[in-house]
């Protein structure tokens, strides 16, 4: 798959997830063979002002390339200014968020709220394309409501405005996290546009990646919550795609512990004393896959320091 001039090797992608897909977790996913990663969503108005906290979300190093910087907003001047800043930071691709359904973003008529304004989507995407030499992608939901999906219209508008690829999570703004994802919309979008289409939604197992590729014809599959506490899903999915068989190396509790501690080390290098607090939201997922929800899982719910985390590991694992 090519996104503009950027060649992507492989068909697995880590989705952008606020407060999860920081640099350490993206590196961990890369170590397990993911083809492409996104930063957490950043607000264009804050990046344009060079807000330190927002810029921190764009921390990157060459070892995770290719990586996409994701931005959100609806003010064209802020968006284009942000695109130029990101281009100077070493990113290869910029993604325009048309999929965030949380209330504070919808109140700003940004993120998924822009799906109600197709013409404005076209204007903003075109402005982004003209502002930078980097390829511009978009990530969208199916539409504002289940009954009236307009993702095919939005997809065509984005393509004609110069977008280099589209990622579709086929759920509506009204029900972004419930009900089954409608994979048929991914298939229809793939048949509607000529640029690459990335599918996502209901990817929980390596077999789901292969099923989506076969069912929709999409160019790559994006994994979101299915990768939390289980970054090896990319290794297993890649092996299944390439060989048609399951990966021969099963993830035992001890191996999962090693992955978790690798994650902790990456976080310590990135955030120092704040590592345990950043890891804490991932720990219930690791505990589940280790079969330790009732022991280690309970012990780490309220940890605040690196020392408390390390003591919990020694005590329970």
Nearest alpha carbon to residue 135 among 64, 49, 36, 216: 36
Other C-beta atoms closer than 10 Å to the C-beta of 94 total: 24
Question: Bridge partners of 198?
Answer: 167, 220
Determine phi and psi for 146, rounding to 5 degrees: -65, -35
Rounded Cα gap, residues 157 and 61, in angstroms: 33
Q: Which tokens go with 78?
A: 């802020």
Nearest alpha carbon to residue 36 among 79, 71, 72, 6: 6
Are 228 and 20 in contact, with CB atoms under 8 Å apart? yes
Give yes or no: 151 in active site. no
Catalytic residue among 72, 78, 100, 151: 100
Rounded Cα gap, residues 245 and 164, in angstroms: 32
Rounded Cα gap, residues 225 and 24, in angstroms: 16
Question: Bridge partners of 43?
Answer: 72
Are 168 and 151 in contact, with CB atoms under 8 Å apart? yes
Tell me the three state secondary structure of residue 141: strand
Are 83 and 93 in contact, with CB atoms under 8 Å apart? no
Q: Which tokens go with 92?
A: 């290869």
Residue with tokens 């503009």: 4
Which residues are part of the catalytic machinery? 100
């Amino acid at each position: 798959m090519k996104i503009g001039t950027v060649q992507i090797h492989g068909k697995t992608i880590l989705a952008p997830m606020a407060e999860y897909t920081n640099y350490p977790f993206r590196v961990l996913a890369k170590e397990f063979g993911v083809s492409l990663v996104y930063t957490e969503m950043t607000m264009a108005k804050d990046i344009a002002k060079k807000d330190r906290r927002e810029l921190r979300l764009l921390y990157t190093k060459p070892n995770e390339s290719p990586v996409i910087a994701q931005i959100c907003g609806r003010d064209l001047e802020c968006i284009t200014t942000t695109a130029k800043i990101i281009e100077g930071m070493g990113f290869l691709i910029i993604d325009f968020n048309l999929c965030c359904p949380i209330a504070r973003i919808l109140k700003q008529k940004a993120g998924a709220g822009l799906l109600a304004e197709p013409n404005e989507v076209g204007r903003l995407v075109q402005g982004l394309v003209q502002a930078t030499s980097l390829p511009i992608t978009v990530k969208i939901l199916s539409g504002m409501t289940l009954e009236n999906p307009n993702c095919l219209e939005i997809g065509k508008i984005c393509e004609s405005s110069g977008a280099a690829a589209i990622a579709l999570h086929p759920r509506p703004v009204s029900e972004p996290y419930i009900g089954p994802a409608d994979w048929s919309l991914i298939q229809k979008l793939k048949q509607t546009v000529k640029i690459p289409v990335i599918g996502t939604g209901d990817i929980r197992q390596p077999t789901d990646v292969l099923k989506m590729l076969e069912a929709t014809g999409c160019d790559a599959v994006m994994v979101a919550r299915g990768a939390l506490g289980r970054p090896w899903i990319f290794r297993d999915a890649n092996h299944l795609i390439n060989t048609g068989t399951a990966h021969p190396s099963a993830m035992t509790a001890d191996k999962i512990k090693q992955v978790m501690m690798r994650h902790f080390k990456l976080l310590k290098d990135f955030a120092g004393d704040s590592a345990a607090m950043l890891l804490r939201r991932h720990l219930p997922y690791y505990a589940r896959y280790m079969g330790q929800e009732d022991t280690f899982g309970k012990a780490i719910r309220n940890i605040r320091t690196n020392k408390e985390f390390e003591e919990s590991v020694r005590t329970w694992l």
